[in-house]
Chains A and B, each alone.
Chain A
């Protein structure tokens, strides 16, 4: 099987640019230059409201990143455990993991967010941001679980057999042989999930979390400049995801070191 076929294709994140596609006029560059130009020139020519919006949302950017990074970290841990559960021969572990994935997959993220947020709020008093992170990572943990499962399964079984035949047990085989290789297959979809999660954090603006979108909404509802506000909000999200997708594609390229002759 070629490596291209092996790549896992999950995720509705931004399209991650192909590392080989380095031409100046690639779609990525055009999008980036366009976005930056608009972000610079719109406020220059019309400081009110474009410039004002930009000044209003930096706190929101920080919050968005905070929610994203905390959620993705937790989701990675949950995903690893879930992925291992999904391939485990232990009935109980396997069933629990599968059940979790099925349930999470079947409920819209926004409904889950509300549910966890208000369910949590009923029993324990947690800050809004914490509730948001728990809800996001609970949901994305299930997606990550599928990514990990596919990544682990994409590694040729011969690697496992070679490791076992040397005397490694299952756990050591996973740690020393399979996961370090699976990581390379897992990274692109994880990157996609990361970007998808960053975009989905805009949903938490409905809770009382002051992310980019919520800051924008606050500004728009005071100034009534809806069009200009959401133009800037969209551009800020686009800039962030463009930069992230490039970073991820570079990382992916570096991680394939042992495939290059």
Chain B
């Protein structure tokens, strides 16, 4: 792969659920270190697009290449590719039977054959980073939503992925907890992580995004840098959406 090539190349993908078209000829490139924020009304296909990137959703046609690996090449091992892609879900999805620390160390120990000591150290460092080290021995259900989501981010980071995917990471949180999660994400962005973020947090989009993508009815309607996107949107559908949400 050429160093200048995008790390994510999405070309003309379509996705059908039965006869319903959830993704309509979507193409998107993401370069190394780039932050892409995806906006759009509910049901517009944002999650489907994001989940297509790590093949949690299989597409009906088109191609997706991540870090040089074609997701639909039978010779590729999807599990290896997924190790490069951290994912954070709206509903956290922490492993409920594992402590916070074990949530972080499970994958590195089992998949990277890391020693327990090494994994513990890595995990504690990451928990420090997301400000939750003192809860290492707690179980997820003993934590607040904001804390759980920060642990979920740390868990994804523990695999040292090249790309982080976020699917509405703050949508399930009480308002007073949104800040603490966004703060972690902003830090991550400033460290140079490649990120694709589905969110309704316009402040975050403005501050962090290199590109803002607006989706509607499964298609990308508009894509622009945040200042242009928010201050000078081209299409009526974008304007309408921004009026409603701002």
Point out residues on A near B: beta carbons under 8 Å: 156, 158-159, 161-169, 172, 176-177, 180-181, 184, 257-259, 261
Known A158-B93, A159-B95; contact A167-B87, beta-carbon cutoff 8 A: no
B contact residues, range: 20 to 34
Name the distance in Å between A3's Cβ and chain B's nearest Cβ. Answer: 11
Chain A residues positioned under 8 Å from B156 (CB to CB): 165-166
B141–A167 touching, CB < 8 Å: no
Q: What number of residue pairs across chains A and B have CB atoms under 8 A from each other?
A: 66
Chain B residues positioned under 8 Å from A259 (CB to CB): 96, 141
A4–B54 CA distance with the chains assembled, in angstroms:
34
B107–A177 touching, CB < 8 Å: no
Chain B residues positioned under 8 Å from A162 (CB to CB): 87, 89, 93-95, 152
Closest Cβ neighbor of B159 among chain A residues: A166
A181–B96 touching, CB < 8 Å: yes
Which of B91, B96, B107, B152 is close to A167, meaning CB atoms less than 8 Å apart? B107
Name the distance in Å between A240's Cβ and chain B's nearest Cβ. Answer: 31
A172–B110 touching, CB < 8 Å: yes
Point out residues on B near A: beta carbons under 8 Å: 54, 56, 79-80, 82-83, 85-87, 89, 91, 93-97, 106-107, 110-111, 139-142, 152, 155-156, 159
What 15 additional pairs, Cβ within 8 angstroms, besides A165-B156, A166-B83, A167-B159? Answer: A158-B91, A158-B93, A159-B96, A161-B87, A164-B82, A165-B85, A166-B82, A166-B106, A167-B80, A176-B106, A181-B95, A181-B97, A257-B139, A258-B97, A259-B141
A164–B55 CA distance with the chains assembled, in angstroms:
10
Chain A residues positioned under 8 Å from B159 (CB to CB): 166-167
A165–B91 CA distance with the chains assembled, in angstroms:
14
